[in-house]
Each structure stands twice: as C-alpha cells, then as structure tokens.
Structure 1
Amino acid sequence: MHPTRIIADLRVADLEAAKGFYTGFLGLSTEEFTLGWMARYTSPETGAHLQLVTRDATAPEDPVISVTTDDVDGAHAEAVELGYEIVHPLTTEPWGVRRFFVRAPDGTVINVVGHPGPGTGRS
C-alpha cells in the first residue's frame, strides 16, 4: 500500500461542543467537511488537520487513524492476503468514498480510504 495522507481520528462525545477548542485554541479553523457524525478541521496556515468523530455511521468500530491511498482495492487485497482482520468490508459509502477498516496486530483499527477516481475501483 502507498499512503498519500494519514489523519488522526479523535473520538469526541459531541462535535459542536468539541469544535470550539479545536478550531479556536488549536487554530484548526477551516472545516473541510462534516457529515454530522464526523468533521475534518484544518489550519489554513500550516495544513495541520484532525478529524473529530462521534461514532462511525456505517462501521462496527471507530478507527484511530484514516489512511488515504490511491489504490484502496489493492490495499484491501494486500491486507486480506497478509491475513489481517478486516473490521469493516470494502464498501463504497453513500458520501462517495471507498473504504475498509483493518485491525493492526496491536489492535488499532485503521480506516483505509480512497476517493473516486483512478485506482479506487471507481471513476
């Protein structure tokens, strides 16, 4: 797999309650997007970013990090071949990403995600 970006997924009880701290104090003032249960905030000056997650909408567990790759189908095939536990199956989600969750040997759940286009199995 070739990751193109890794983002921390921080579990919070309430997105709106947490938003002020992360956008104000930490300076992650640009909301790149929100799904109601998850939102990504970025610093316009540095590009530092973080995703806040209350509870994943379609998966049985919450990931600790999200890893973006240009070939999510290939990454899934590699994870299966290596015998890693797939926590959430390879799925094209209603919000347009293609992803799966894999459990690392230490128990960490990782969201491996691809965006529509070349290498994601979609165009």
Structure 2
Amino acid sequence: MRVTRVTANLRVADVDAAKGFYTDYLGLSTEEFNMGWVARYTSPDTGANVQLVTQDATAPESPVISVHTDDVDGAYEEAQRLGLEIVQPIATEEWGVRRFLVRAPDGNVINIVRHRE
C-alpha cells in the first residue's frame, strides 16, 4: 500500500465547541469540511491538519487516524491476506470516500481511505 497522507482523528465531544481552540489558537483556519460528526481544519500556510471526530457515523468504532492511499481496494485485499481484523468492510460512503477500518495489532482502529478524484 502506498500511503499518500496520514491525518490524526482527535476524539471530541462536540465538533463545533472544540473548533475555536484549533482555529483561533492553533491557526488551523481552513475548514475543509464539516459533517457535524467530523470536521477537518488545515493550516493555510503549511497544510498541516487535524480531524475532529465525535463518533464515526457509519462505523462501529471511531478510528484514531485516517491513512490515505491511492489503492484502497488493494490495501483491503492485503489486510485480508494478512489476516488482520477488519472492523468495517470496504464500502463507498454516501459522502464519496471509499474506505475500510482495520485494527492494528496494538488495538488501534485505522481508517484506510481514498477520496474521490
């Protein structure tokens, strides 16, 4: 799997309530998206970003990071071949990403994702 980006998914109780700290104090001023349960904020100068997540809307567990790849289907096949625990099978979500969730051997849930072109 070729990883193109890794994004931290920070668990928060309320995305809108948490927003001020990340935008006002940290300066992550670009709101790339906000779906209510997940929002991404990015530095306009460096591209550094973070996602704030309350609870994943379609998965049984919330991932701690999102690993972006250009071949999510190949990554899914490899995870299966290696016998890794699939927390959520591969699917195309209504908001356009194709993804699956896998549990790392340390117990962390990882979102493996490809955004639409």
Q: TM-score range by the shorter chain?
A: over 0.9
Structure 1 partner of 2:18: 18
Deviation at 1:45, TM superposition (A): 1.1
Take 1:39 and 1:116, find their aligned partners in 2: how far apart are those partners?
17
1:24-55 deviation line (CA, Å, top 9, x unaligned): 10110100011111000001011110000011
Structure 1 partner of 2:37: 37
1:41-71 deviation line (CA, Å, top 9, x unaligned): 0010111100000110000000000000000
2:87 is matched by which residue type in structure 1?
V
Take 2:7 and 2:83, find their aligned partners in 1: how far apart are those partners?
24
The normalised TM-score by structure 1 is 0.93
1:76 is matched by which residue type in structure 2?
Y
1:58-107 deviation line (CA, Å, top 9, x unaligned): 00000000000000000000000001000011010000000000000000
Deviation at 1:116, TM superposition (A): 2.5
The normalised TM-score by structure 2 is 0.98
Take 1:39 and 1:23, find their aligned partners in 2: how far apart are those partners?
12
Take 1:45 and 1:70, find their aligned partners in 2: how far apart are those partners?
25
Q: What percent of counterpart residues are identical? A: 72
Q: Runs ≥4 in structure 1, deviation > 3 angstroms?
A: none
Structure 2 partner of 1:47: 47
Take 2:115 and 2:13, find their aligned partners in 1: how far apart are those partners?
27
Take 1:37 and 1:73, find their aligned partners in 2: how far apart are those partners?
25
Residue-pair matches, total = 117
Take 1:116 and 1:9, find their aligned partners in 2: how far apart are those partners?
20
Is residue 2:77 matched to residue 1:56?
Answer: no
Structure 1 gaps of 5+ residues are: 118-123
1:31 is matched by which residue type in structure 2?
E
1:11 is matched by which residue type in structure 2?
R
1:65 is matched by which residue type in structure 2?
I
